[in-house]
Amino acid sequence: MEPNDLFRKLIAFTASVHQVKHDFSKDLRLDDITPVQYAILEYLAVDQPVTLSEISDCLHMSMPNTSRELKKLGDKGLCEKFAVAGDRRKQAIRLSPEGQAMMDGVFAHYGSLFQARMQRFSPETRAEIERSLDVLQTHVFYTDRPKRNV
């Protein structure tokens, strides 16, 4: 196979993943949470705790806008800020118990939709899928980001 075909395939694959996630999230009831706010919550759910400037960097949004959206999330009781020992400028941010519960619900929703697709497969096929996930995540879809020190 030509290398170019592999890149094409990678591009088509990322488009598919994006599309499936979009479809899966369609019937998700996230009342009162905007897409950007959801992105922050999802980021927090993976990497906790984190500083405001890290969110700003990783989600490619400006500090003022990050600060604004984070305040809204705080007002909704979905995340919390607390001081960082050693640097009084910084503040660590993490999901509140309510925010964590909400994201657990979201992940359970995705999980059940994935489950519907996995059900019909044999244990061998599932194992193959899992190996494929590992291969792609370690070789292709990793994020190389400077390590943080919260």
Partner DNA sequence: TTGTTTGGTTATCATATGATAACAAAAGGA
Partner DNA sequence: TCCTTTTGTTATCATATGATAACCAAACAA
Name the site residues for its own copies (rule: CB under 8 A): 1, 3-4, 6-23, 26, 42, 46, 58-60, 107, 110-111, 114-115, 117-118, 121, 125-126, 128-133, 135-137, 139-143
Instruction: Pull the structure tokens for residue 17.
Output: 């993943």
> Pattern 70-109, binding to DNA, x per CB under 7 A?
xx---------x----xxxxxx------------------
The DSSP annotation for 1-65 comes to --HHHHHHHHHHHHHHHHHHHHHHHHT---TT--HHHHHHHHHHHHS-SEEHHHHHHHTT--HHH
Report, in Å, the least distance between residue 82 CB and DNA: 11
- Give yes or no for a contact between 20 and 114, defined as CB atoms under 8 angstroms apart: no
Q: Which does 10 bind (CB under 5 to 8 A by kind): its own copies, DNA, none?
A: its own copies
Q: Inter-axis angle of helices 35-46 and 63-75, to 10 degrees? A: 90
The CA distance from 27 to 21, in Å, is: 11
> Pattern 21-40, binding to DNA, x per CB under 7 A?
-------------xxxx---
With CB under 7 A as the contact rule, the residue among 41, 69, 73, 102 that binds DNA is: 69
The closest of 103, 97, 114, 94 to 42, measured between CA atoms, is 103
E strand or H helix that includes residue 81: strand 79-83
Nearer to its own copies, 101 or 135 (CB): 135
Query: Which region, judged by CB under 7 A, interacts with DNA, from 52-60, 101-109, 122-130, 138-146?
Result: 52-60
Counting contacts by CB under 7 A, is residue 48 touching DNA?
no
